[in-house]
Amino acid sequence: MDYLVSEFVRVTQRRVPAQSLKRLVPELNNHCQTPYKHPVHLQLLGSNIETMAKTAAEASLAGVTHLDLNFGCPAKRVNGHGGGSFMLQDPETLYQVVKAVRESLASNIPLSAKMRLGYLDEDLFFENLEAIEKAGADTLTIHGRTKKDGYGPAARWEKIGEAVKRSKMTIIANGDIQNRDSLQRCIAITGCTHFMIGRGSLSNPFIFRELKGGKAGSLEELFLLINSYIDDLLEHYDDFATLGRIKQWSAHLRRDWPVIAENLKAIRATQHTNDLKMLMKKLEE
């Protein structure tokens, strides 16, 4: 991939200091790059104009190279505080937050945002689009669903295409891009040249290489990746947490890898990472 966006950092009644940002997004300590040199953008989520602006200033101090604002998260806990997609009901506050962040962020740092088509419906879609653009964001990722849709119905790429026609911002299409075929359809419908992939990269970790014309991932590569991920996780988490993470990932992998789908029950039944590694070895053979 060309870059990654961090999980959101929630900003509530207090600014998040630079030190905390570095703890939550460790790539900030490494010139905002992964060990493999993929750029990492910091994402903030919040609705408080003052603390969002102050946290943007802290992000500058922490050495952020690109800041992204989340107006898409549908989670209840988040929306209960007026953050995430909840903001899409109020274009004026949306404008104020983006503007305040733009003004307090160092001027050489690009600012982007991420939104859904709306909260309960799409009525305010173009107003929200305009608010984000006017406030000074230069790039916008659009997830083609409302908050009410959750992750269920098919993403409505047509609406993203309408945004592309109306806006001067770089629009990044998001939702349901899972392989070459869905990417082609998304290009045809949206006219976009930039794309964001979420769950598709969990079910097929080689998707970026494939979409850029490279070869499909092999089973050998998959098992190599799973094993090295187990080892990496064990450096930071205990056996139980590591096992949980791999079981969770396997539920995504089953969509693209029949061998995982057919053995998901056995994977879920493992009690220790050693058992899991032995099972993976058996499956590989």
Contact flag: residue 211 with ligand FMN (CB under 6 A) = no
| Nearer to ligand FMN among residue 117 and residue 276 (C-beta) | 117
Residue 197 is a binding residue for ligand FMN (CB under 6 A)? yes
- 88-147 residues in contact with ligand FMN (CB under 6 A) are 114, 143
Q: Could you say whether residue 161 binds ligand FMN (CB under 6 A)?
A: no
Decide if residue 254 touches ligand FMN (CB under 6 A).
no
8 binds ligand FMN (CB under 6 A): yes
Closer CB to ligand FMN, 223 or 229, in the complex: 229
- Size of site (CB under 6 A) for ligand FMN: 15
Active site residue 186: no
Sign of the CA dihedral 173, 176, 177, 181?
negative
**Sole binder of ligand FMN in the list 3, 198, 245, 264 (CB under 6 A):** 198
Give the nearest residue (CB) to ligand FMN.
Answer: 198
By CB under 6 A, tell whether 21 contacts ligand FMN. Answer: no
Residues near ligand FMN (CB under 6 A): 7-8, 43, 70, 72, 114, 143, 174-177, 197-200
Active site residues per annotation = 73
